[in-house]
Amino acid sequence: MHQILINMGIANDVRIKDYKHMKNPSQSMSHRILLFPLATFLVLSAAITACGGDRPDAADERAVASPKHDFSDEPCFVSMWNHRRDLDPSDLGAELGINHIWSHDDAYHGQEWEETHMYRLLQIPGVDYVMAKIERAAWGWDHEMSLSHAKWVAKLSKEHPGIAGMYLNDFYDEVEDGYRTEEQWREIIDTAKSINPDLKLWVPHYPHRDQGRHAFDFDIDGVILNLWGNEPELLARAEEHLAAGLAHHPDREIIAGLYLRSGMDGGRWLTEDEFRFVYGHYVDMLNAGQLKGVRIFAAYQLKERPEYIEWAKEILESVTCR
């Protein structure tokens, strides 16, 4: 594909051509703000079409990468994952301008609203929205627990508009690993929607793991596109993977997610260059109205490595939609 890009006359696009070949990828950083991300995506789509596709997800990447829904005139989410109820992220919220946090409550067992993690997070100044969650069956949430929790969150969301949605954790992974069936997910979705049709339901999509082969033909409203693993080769293709995910969900709200540390055997931390490259691209897309939000995983990792806070602050200064 690189030769095709050269033939198309865009070999000077360092984010496509040079990033994965440079010994010092930061050499490309100064060019980032000069390159409009939509143009990059359209070029990639054309190039992949020309070469016929050389991966299982090539069909997704041949589709138009621009979503039909333009979020540029709507409030956006500057978001953070925080599944640790013993951690107070108030300082992070203030420093980064976080307005949306992914929460973690126990499966419903009669707890009051004021006892919930969602409630506590919404007391943080500037945090207007939280994401509720159905946890993985692989981690102990059986089907009846999940149905009960879905009913409870749907009822709460009618009273508390700060509940911006409910996340169905590791959606297709649960099916692929044999912990849930698609029919069980449909029942959970139908249960929540029958109580509050306006509650937005979100699922993850990992485009680098060929999840584009799935239909995603569920009554869901939003998708978070995640790149998990943090291998340099994966990160060098971040724009390409995001384009594939956007093309797969043209009529849904999209959040782009970034893991500070992920991967097997304890995972790998992003380098500064990698962080600025990927998160900077996400913010470009956010400002272009092609994403509903950007999310960092996770609050506790920001506490462990405060240098990421400084880098994120610099990048988020350019956000225009909050």
Whichever domain contains 77, its CATH number is 3.20.20.80
pLDDT of the residue at 259 = 98
Q: What is the pLDDT of residue 278?
A: 98
DSSP 249: -
Work out the average pLDDT over 4-31. Answer: 35
Q: Is 28 inside a domain boundary?
A: no
| DSSP single-letter state for residue 27 | G
Q: Is residue 62 within 8 Å of 48, Cβ to Cβ?
A: yes
**Residue 78, domain member (yes or no):** yes
Give the model confidence (pLDDT) of 199-208 as tens digits: 999 999 999 9
| Token pair for 68 | 């039909």
Express each pLDDT in 43-74 by its tens digit. 344 433 333 333 334 333 323 344 445 555 56
5 found inside a domain: no
Instruction: Tell me whether residue 95 is in a domain.
Output: yes
C-alpha to C-alpha distances, 292 to 71, 142, 164, 165, nearest whole angstrom: 6, 31, 12, 13
E strand or H helix that includes residue 95: helix 90-96
With respect to residue 289, please indicate whether it lies within any of the assigned structural domains.
yes
- Length of the chain, in residues: 322
For 211-234, the DSSP string reads: GGGS---SS--EEEEEE-S--HHH
Inter-residue contact 319 to 76 (CB < 8 Å): yes
In a domain, 311, yes or no: yes
The answer to whether 286 and 74 have CB atoms below 8 angstroms apart is no
Which helix (H) or strand (E) is 318 found in, with range? Answer: none
Residue 19 lies in a domain: no
Residue with tokens 């692929």: 176
Cis peptide before 298 (omega within 30 of 0): yes
Is the pLDDT at 20 greater than 90? The verdict is no
CA–CA separation, 130 vs 138, rounded Å?
A: 24
pTM > 0.85: yes or no: no
How many domains would you assign to the chain?
1
Over the chain, what is the mean pLDDT?
84
CB hemisphere CA count around 51 (13 angstroms): 17
Instruction: Give domain status of residue 2, yes or no.
Output: no
- Domain of residue 162 covers 68-316
Q: Which pLDDT band holds residue 78 (cuts at 50, 70, 90)?
A: very high
Alpha-carbon distance of 76 to 207, in angstroms, equals 22
